Structures are given as C-alpha cells and as structure tokens.
Structure 1
Amino acid sequence: MPKPSLVDSLEPEQRAAFERELNRRNFADYDGLVGWLDANGFEISRSSAYRHGAKLKRRIQAVKNSTEAARMIAEAAPDDSDLRSAAVISLVQSELFDVMVSLQDLNEAEPAERVGLLKEAAKSVLDMTRASVLQKKLAQDVRAAIRLEARAEAAEDLTQGLKNDGISEALEASIKRILLGK
C-alpha cells in the first residue's frame, strides 16, 4: 500500500489554500508553485504537488463535463416527470448497496475503521433514500398539477359552451365546483 500523500495530511485550510494556488496557476508552473509552497511553510515536493494537481484537475474536468452533458441532455430532451433523476438515484443506490456488502467482507480492517466506513455508507444510503422520496413527491405534485390544469380547462370549455346555450351562473358555478373540487 502506498504511503499517504503529504497533501492529504494538510489541515483543511492549508489544503484549500494550496488548491486555490494550483487553480490560480491553471495547474501549471509547478516550479513557481514549489517556491510558493516553501514561502508558505508547506513541505510538499514538486512531484507530490503535481500528482495532487493532476488528480484535482481530472476531478474538476469530470464535474465540468458532467455538468455540460446534463445541460445538453436537459435542453435536448426535457424530462418533466424527472425519470433521469429517478434512474440516477437508483444507480447510486445500487452502487451503495454493493459497497456496503463489500464492507461486510472487509475482514482485515480494524473494527473501528469498519464501523466508520459502514457509518459513512449508511449516511450515503440515507441521503439517497431521502432524495428518492423527494423525487417521487415532486413527480406526484407535477402529475397532480397537470390533472388540475386539465380539469380547469375542461370546466372552462364546458361552461363556455353551455353559456352560449343560456346556462345560469349558479349552474356554471356548480359545474366548476364539481370538476375542480372546490
């Protein structure tokens, strides 16, 4: 097992400063970055900085690519019923289940480490379950709004047609009340 990266051992504030500097330098000028690291009391080699920078740049690019792809898909194929979100949630839930099963087979890990990993996995499952419930509630609300709009249009069409035939205002109100549930 490789030794942990020096970057991973930094305090969160230090790591954030280091990553801001990497980004400011556009993930280049690692010689200048080493000077900045030394001036700011970081004991990180050029190769460690480069490895971390390359990994961070890949992650940022992956997020940008995913965001752009999602934007393009949303523009090309609107998803009012939010089926894509349901599919993504289902995929992530499956992956989390696989991870939890794998964690149960992790015999060489210390018990405290296993508990910590299981706790994190359980929190992720809880978050995904919550997202799934919210997604289903949103889909239900959208369907209800569509039904109500359709009934309102039907009531308007019906009463407009009957007004031409001399329907009373009381009968018009009754029809709307029945169709709209008001």
Structure 2
Amino acid sequence: MPPPKKVELLPGELRSWLHDELKARGFGDYVGLAEALNFRLEEEGLELRIGKSALHNYGQEYEQFAKLQEEAGAWAQQWMSENDLSDEAEQHRVLFQMMTSVAFKVLKAQMLKEGEEIDPRELHFLGKMMKDVMSSSGIREKLMADERERIAREARAAAQAEMTERFDEAVAEAGLGEATVAKMRRDFLGLRA
C-alpha cells in the first residue's frame, strides 16, 4: 500500500479547517492556503509541512467530493419535494437510506478489489458524509422534539389556567367555604390552594 499523503496526516481539526478554507477560497489560492496551513502547523508545534502542489491535488479531489455532496443533496431535496415529504426528520431519514445504499455499493466494489487497488479516501469520505448526515439528523430531531415539548407544556399551562378560572367562577356562584374549596382543588383538580 502506498504511503499516506501528507494531507491525510493532518489532525482532524486542521483537516476540517482545511476543508472550510478550500471552500472559502473557491478551491483556489493554493499558495496562500499553503502558507496559512504551514503557519498553523508551526503554531501547533508540528513538524509536518505541506506544499501547494500537494494541497492542489487534494483540493481537486475534495472539490469533486464536495460537488457530489451538493448534487446528491439537491437531488434528494427535489425527490423529497416531488414525493411530498415535507417533514424534515423524514427527509433526513430518506437521505440517510439513500446514502446507505450508495455506501453498500461502494463497499461492495471495494471488497472486490485487492491491495493497492483499494482507495482508503473513498471509504473515509463516505464514512464522514454518513456521520455528518446522522449527526445533523439527530440534532434536528432533538430540536423538533424540544419544540413539541415546549408547545405541549404551554398548552397544559393554558388549559390549567382556564380550568382554574372556571373553577373559581363556579365556586363563587356556589358560595362554598374556603376549606371545602381547598379540598376540591386538591382532590379533584390537583391544583394548589
């Protein structure tokens, strides 16, 4: 197996920064990018240095990967809107299923290869993409669940306030004593006196 490329030796945080910078620079300005990356490597006390040619090669590969992600996302969005899947959690579920089927095809193709024919970058990018979708889906589902819980809490509070108001009106009309009213609040309504 060939030795790993220098970019692949970057710590995860720096690789994420590199991906963001590649996109921000429009997959260009490799001289400036190499300077910025090597400055960061030096600041972190790492001896690794990466030249503009290595960054250019990696950038071209990553640009293709980013374009495929965008195309897949746009296709999935269009497909879901055509099939009237408006719920965001459902959209993520469908997108994840589609990616799982692609992952299976890639893994199956990789299993048929031997030794140096296997490209670990394909597996890495696919795994990262699936992890990002799963993470995004989980965050959105939690936010949606939190919002549903907040709405339900507010509805319960409004219902209890209305019940208390009606109870107070009924008590006033009936002319009941304070002890009887307190007992009825506790026993029947679960309200505090």
Q: TM tier, shorter chain?
A: 0.3 to 0.5
- TM-score calculated relative to the size of structure 2: 0.43
